């Protein structure tokens, strides 16, 4: 690290904190002493320290004055892409290149000098208060107990704990009830481990379940789950509120104090209750947390009250209802199942109990309100699962040891122990319940009385209070969860028309609009007062979330992404996969039709996001998986030998900036789409130091332009001293393994007669290089040319000028300094520019595609038009094949070509033989050709080779008289072919013709370009000059 001179700062700056800019350290002259430069050699530990010696510059390192800095938190905070430079860290150019001071002079960024110890910065949301204003109050943040464990326990506990678990124990027996509990808890525990792994793999912000899934699996699955999860929580508010309202209504009925009627009482009580809960939520998270603690204490008191009641000796009234305190006989009888009724099956009871094990996401759903989500979510969620599981197991075992299955409740059924005619376990305790048990009319006992816990407890009303606490706490948790998740979804703008609800208020950014929306949804379902059809769908939505959380953990693990580094290590990717699979199975076990509805909604929302393709990048495991798959398949391709049947035209297209030659891009993109590789190459000519920033700026814009045009292609560029060397780099280095280009596609150089001779030599040299590297060549000419750079640049910047006429050969012109640079440096403008329309984007109708297969190049001249004809826009075109022949053998030659084409299975049936291809062209056409090459002739008078070479020194493109003479027949053939093209194909949609080859070292570049000019001039349709590498690309064999 090179030491820098230490600048003396003004007193006002000496106390400033933060890292100094490069311009601050250098002064006003490069590497020299500006007005602020200090004595050379001054450093942090100098004997005569400057004002900077004790300043923040030294605290940013370890007492060593340098541009380099020590690791710090802020360098990594809020970084998005792999190439993002951290805040304040010098760039590679700052450290590596020659530094130049900023013309703005001194600039000292303001930050805390103590940040060098690695302490975190404030959250992005915690913006510093403006000067003159009081500092903003700190947002409320919760720890793992108050924020996660208590919240999850309250959401897991519900009315099933009080009303259904005793009944399930009677049906399934203690043993199978424990199995049901443990099976349910296995799913939730695996999900809890997966949540713990995901939440500790980086910083978790607000959004809860949606945030975890979307940032792991991507916006497609995350968005769909976020929307249905928020809706499910909103409806769950109504469900839990109705459960509370029904309990209150039953109490009113017992005392004959109904307000209106049973149904309307539920509505009235429900609306009042959810309004009160909304008020608690709007009061702030602190008040909501206090309410949750109150509910938690009520449930704990009710649970203790129940346990105390089990050890209190049973009164005669309780014995009549089946309670006899702890008895080994009762435990033994209730240990085994006794199935009754339509729901009397293992999976029937499992489907009833499983919803009571859910609710483990309540803590994760308020991740934005936790002090440290990475610690709180794993610890709180797993502890909540543990303690609620213990409570379920204890309750099942205790009540199954105290209460018999059937009891009449009548005090008159007491008998003496051992009385004849008495059947059942209660006879040994002095009670005869035989009559009601045989008639199945018993009102009490575990199998018949849902309020068994209340009956067993020491004080019955406390159990009712526990039911109130369980329902209201669950309703309150869902009322808070739904807006928090929905707010994060709205801010991500994955779906239309919901951004309005993303606004936050107050220090905690409370989603008040989301609260109101949740309130309206809850009110709507409370007024329906019939949730039996909705409840299974909600359970399935929660299970769908569990399945995706587990799959997220598995998928992130299996992709081996270096970014998957959770600090929570006690998870297994295979356990997560099992959890995902079992969650889906349970969805169908609960309610198969509800599972289908849930999957249908998820798939619909998933399809919408896939269709819209939001421009966001969260570094999801799907991206890592795509990379893994691409890498594995690419490596696998290297082990497969190439076969003609699997030949694909993989094109390196010399487009320059792709938006400059849209017709060339559209042509190649049409026949390579979903079929083969297309790579748009651009050669940036000039000094590397000058062109590299341009390359880095524009690459992303060109890729976006291709994506917007729906061209499935890659973009790459190289910086080179000249065009030909740049193309040589592309030809040799482009591609990966077997996915390498085998065809060079480029535009025809229309300005070859007026361009510099060296550019002409380079252009023809590129064609020779392609053949040297065993490439096929596809050269495209259009009547109006391919390069639309002038139009594009004039549209974006009317002052744009071109210093050099751009050729059609894959390079763009150079912008005059100060005119086009602003446009070139803006990738957003490039990607958003108006798309130019080309002939390859329009329907071609019933025209013809004319193929002039004059020489056998391996079949590439036939294959490209065939692939083009398979596309919808060209599908109605009739393909005609023209081949040369002799007039006295036309029929035989035509039959031979038709037979050959039929074996290729291309579907080409119209074949024309050209018997007059060797006729002499029209004199005026010959004269036009001679006039074309006249400016390039050497006029050496047929001198010997040594004399010609001496005359040609410095101008290799010149044509000697000997070369004109030797190539006369070939020249006249191009003239004649042009006449034939004008006769037969003037109205065609496309002309494909075999590209003539000029022998390297024997055919000057100007003569070769004259051949191409003559062959393709005056033609209205696009002309494609194609030449394969003389190896077969078509076969009629099946192996």
Checking DSSP bridges between strand 1023-1027 and strand 776-781, what pairing results, if any? antiparallel
Concatenate the DSSP letters of all residues of 836-862 into one string. Answer: PP-GGGS---S-EEEEE--S-SSSHHH
Give pLDDT, residue 11: 39
Give pLDDT, residue 715: 93
For 259-273, b/e burial (b = at least 16 CB within 10 A) is: eeeeeebbbbbbbeb
The sign of the torsion formed by the CA atoms of 558, 560, 564, 567 equals positive
Q: List C-alpha distances in Å: 857 to 863, 986, 996, 1025.
A: 11, 25, 10, 12
Residue 2 has pLDDT above 70, yes or no: no
Residue 530 has pLDDT above 70, yes or no: no
Residue 775 has pLDDT above 60, yes or no: yes
Give pLDDT, residue 474: 85
CA distance 53 to 844: 75
Q: What is the dihedral of CA 135, 138, 139, 141, to 10 degrees?
A: 170
CA distance 345 to 1034: 65
pLDDT digits (tens, 9 = 90+) for 40-91: 334 444 334 433 334 444 455 555 556 777 777 677 665 555 545 555 777 7
Q: What three-state secondary structure class fits 739? A: strand
Worst-scoring range by mean pLDDT, 207-221, 505-519, 537-551, 880-894? 207-221
CA distance 34 to 165: 82
CA distance 1016 to 750: 11
Give pLDDT, residue 916: 84
Confidence of residue 186 (pLDDT cuts 50, 70, 90): very high
pLDDT digits (tens, 9 = 90+) for 23-47: 433 343 333 434 343 333 344 443 3
Residue 574 has pLDDT above 80, yes or no: yes
Q: Which two tokens stand for residue 277?
A: 């809960």
Give pLDDT, residue 273: 92
Please enumerate in sequence order all residues whose Cβ is within 8 A of that of 463, keeping only pairs 6 or more positions apart, or say none. 162, 302, 305, 306, 451, 453, 454, 457
Give pLDDT, residue 190: 93
Return phi, psi of residue 353, to 5°: -80, -35
Length of the chain: 1039
Give pLDDT, residue 804: 38
Worst-scoring range by mean pLDDT, 51-55, 669-673, 674-678, 695-699? 51-55
pLDDT digits (tens, 9 = 90+) for 303-324: 999 999 988 888 888 888 888 8
Threshold 0.85, pTM exceeds: no
pLDDT digits (tens, 9 = 90+) for 918-969: 889 999 999 999 999 999 888 777 667 777 777 777 788 888 888 888 899 9
Q: Is 888 exposed, middle or buried (0-12, 13-18, 19+ CB in 10 A)?
A: exposed
Average pLDDT over residues 365-380: 82
As a whole number, the mean pLDDT across the chain is 79
pLDDT digits (tens, 9 = 90+) for 803-861: 333 344 444 433 333 333 444 445 556 656 667 788 888 888 889 999 999 999 889 99
Give pLDDT, residue 683: 93
Give pLDDT, residue 985: 92
Average pLDDT over residues 737-749: 92
Can you list the positions of beta strands (E) in 728-782? 743-747, 776-781
pLDDT digits (tens, 9 = 90+) for 626-637: 888 888 888 888
Instruction: Name the most confidently modeled range: 398-407, 485-494, 613-622.
Output: 398-407
Return phi, psi of residue 414, to 5°: -75, 135
Share of the chain above pLDDT 70, in %: 82
pLDDT digits (tens, 9 = 90+) for 357-372: 878 888 887 777 788 8
Residue 672 has pLDDT above 80, yes or no: yes
pLDDT digits (tens, 9 = 90+) for 5-14: 434 433 333 3
Concatenate the DSSP letters of all residues of 432-485 into one string. Answer: --HHHHHHT---BSTTT-TTHHHHHSSSHHHHHHHHHHHHHHHHHHHHHHHHHH
Residue of 3 and 683 predicted with greater confidence: 683
Residue of 517 and 641 predicted with greater confidence: 517
Q: Note whether 790 and 668 are within 8 A (CB).
A: no
Please enumerate in sequence order all residues whose Cβ is within 8 A of that of 1030, keeping only pairs 6 or more positions apart, or say none. 857, 858
Return phi, psi of residue 278, to 5°: -60, -40
Residue 575 has pLDDT above 90, yes or no: yes
Give pLDDT, residue 701: 87
Residue 1024 has pLDDT above 90, yes or no: yes
Give pLDDT, residue 19: 40
């Amino acid at each position: 690290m090179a030491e820098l001179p230490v600048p003396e700062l003004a007193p006002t700056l000496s106390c400033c904190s933060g890292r100094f800019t490069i311009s601050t350290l250098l002064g006003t002259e490069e590497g020299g002493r500006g007005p602020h430069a200090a004595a050379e050699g001054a450093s942090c530990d100098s004997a005569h320290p400057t004002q900077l010696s004790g300043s923040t510059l030294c605290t940013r390192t370890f007492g060593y004055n340098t541009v380099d800095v020590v690791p710090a938190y802020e360098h990594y905070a809020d970084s998005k892409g792999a190439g993002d430079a951290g805040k304040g860290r010098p760039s590679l150019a700052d450290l590596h290149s020659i530094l130049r001071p900023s013309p703005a002079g001194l600039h000292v960024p303001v930050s805390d000098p103590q940040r060098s110890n690695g302490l975190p910065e404030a959250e992005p949301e915690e913006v510093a208060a403006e000067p003159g204003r009081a500092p903003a109050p700190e947002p409320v943040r919760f720890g793992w107990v108050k924020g996660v464990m208590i919240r999850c326990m309250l959401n897991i506990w519900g009315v099933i704990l009080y009303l259904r678990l005793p009944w399930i124990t009677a049906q399934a027996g203690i043993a199978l009830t424990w199995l049901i509990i443990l099976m349910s808890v296995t799913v939730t525990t695996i999900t809890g481990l997966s949540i713990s792994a995901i939440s500790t793999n980086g910083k978790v912000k607000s959004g809860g379940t949606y945030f975890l899934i979307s940032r792991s699996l991507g916006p497609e699955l995350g968005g769909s789950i976020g929307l249905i999860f928020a809706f499910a929580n909103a409806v769950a508010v109504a469900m839990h509120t109705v459960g509370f309202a029904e309990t209150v209504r039953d109490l009113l009925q017992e005392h004959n104090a109904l307000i209106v009627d049973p149904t309307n009482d539920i509505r009235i009580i429900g609306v009042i209750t959810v309004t009160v809960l909304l008020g608690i939520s709007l009061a702030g998270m602190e008040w909501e947390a206090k309410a949750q603690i109150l509910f938690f204490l009520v449930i704990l008191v009710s649970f203790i009250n129940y346990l105390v009641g089990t050890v209190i000796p049973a009164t005669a009234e309780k014995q009549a209802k089946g309670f006899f305190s702890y008895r080994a006989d009762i435990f033994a009888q209730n240990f085994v199942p006794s199935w009754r009724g339509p729901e009397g099956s293992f999976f029937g009871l499992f489907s009833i109990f499983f919803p009571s094990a859910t609710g483990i996401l309540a803590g994760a759903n308020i991740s934005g309100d936790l002090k440290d989500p990475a610690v709180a979510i794993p610890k709180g969620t797993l502890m909540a699962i543990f303690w609620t599981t213990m409570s379920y197991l204890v309750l099942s075992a205790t009540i199954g040891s105290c209460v018999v299955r059937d009891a009449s409740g009548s005090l008159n059924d007491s008998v003496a122990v051992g009385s004849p005619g008495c059947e059942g376990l209660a006879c040994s305790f002095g009670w005869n319940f035989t009559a009601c048990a045989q008639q199945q009319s018993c009102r009490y006992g575990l199998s018949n009385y849902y309020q068994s816990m209340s009956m067993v407890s020491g004080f019955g009303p406390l159990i009712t209070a526990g039911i109130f606490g369980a329902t209201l706490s669950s309703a309150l948790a869902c009322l808070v969860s739904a807006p928090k998740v929905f707010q994060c979804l709205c801010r991500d703008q994955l779906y239309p028309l919901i951004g309005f609800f993303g606004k936050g208020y107050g220090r905690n950014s409370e989603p008040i609009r989301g609260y109101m929306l949740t309130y309206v949804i809850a009110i709507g379902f409370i007024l329906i007062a019939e949730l039996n059809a909705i409840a299974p769908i909600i359970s399935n939505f929660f299970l769908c979330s569990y399945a995706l959380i587990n799959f997220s953990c598995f998928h992130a693990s299996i992709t081996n992404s270096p970014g998957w580094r959770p600090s929570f290590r006690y998870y297994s990717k295979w356990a997560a996969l099992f959890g995902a699979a079992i969650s889906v199975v349970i969805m169908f076990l609960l309610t198969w039709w509800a599972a289908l509805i849930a999957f249908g909604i998820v798939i619909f929302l998933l399809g919408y996001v896939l269709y819209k393709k939001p421009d966001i990048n969260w570094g999801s495991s799907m991206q890592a998986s795509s990379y893994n798959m691409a890498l594995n398949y690419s490596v696998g391709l290297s082990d497969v030998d190439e076969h003609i049947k699997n030949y694909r035209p993989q094109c390196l297209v010399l487009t320059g900036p792709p938006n400059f030659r849209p017709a060339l891009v559209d042509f190649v993109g049409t026949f390579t789409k979903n079929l083969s590789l297309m790579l748009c190459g651009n050669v940036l000519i000039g000094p590397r130091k000058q062109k590299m920033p341009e390359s880095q700026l524009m690459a992303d814009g060109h890729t976006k332009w291709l994506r917007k045009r729906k061209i499935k292609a890659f973009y790459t560029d190289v910086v080179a001293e000249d065009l030909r060397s740049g193309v040589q780099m592309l030809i040799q280095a482009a591609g990966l393994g077997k996915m390498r280009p085998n065809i060079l596609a480029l535009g025809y150089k229309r300005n070859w007669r007026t361009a510099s001779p060296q550019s002409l030599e380079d252009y023809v040299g590129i064609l020779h290089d392609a053949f040297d590297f065993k490439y096929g060549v596809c050269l495209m000419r259009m009547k109006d040319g391919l390069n639309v750079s002038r139009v594009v640049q004039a549209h974006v910047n009317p002052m744009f000028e071109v210093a050099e006429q751009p050729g059609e050969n894959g390079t763009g012109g150079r912008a005059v300094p100060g005119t086009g640079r602003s446009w070139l440096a803006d990738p957003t403008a490039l990607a958003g520019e108006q798309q130019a329309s080309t002939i390859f984007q329009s329907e071609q109708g019933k025209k013809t595609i004319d193929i002039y297969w004059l020489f056998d190049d391996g079949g590439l001249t036939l294959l490209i038009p065939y692939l083009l004809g398979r596309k919808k826009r060209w599908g109605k075109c009739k393909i005609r094949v023209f081949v040369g022949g002799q007039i006295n053998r036309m029929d035989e030659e035509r039959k031979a070509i038709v037979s050959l084409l039929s074996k290729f299975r291309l579907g080409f049936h119209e074949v024309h033989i050209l018997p007059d291809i060797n006729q002499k062209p029209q004199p005026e056409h010959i004269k036009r050709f001679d006039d074309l090459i006249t400016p390039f002739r050497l006029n050496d008078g047929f001198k010997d080779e040594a004399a010609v070479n001496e005359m040609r020194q410095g101008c290799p493109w010149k044509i000697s008289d000997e070369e004109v003479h030797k190539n006369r027949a070939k020249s006249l053939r191009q003239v004649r072919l042009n006449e034939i093209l004008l006769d037969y194909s003037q109205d065609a949609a496309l002309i494909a013709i075999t590209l003539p080859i000029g022998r390297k070292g024997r055919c000057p570049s100007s003569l070769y370009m004259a051949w191409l000019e003559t062959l393709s001039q005056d033609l209205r349709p696009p002309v494609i000059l194609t030449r394969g590498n003389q190896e077969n690309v078509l076969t009629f064999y099946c192996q």
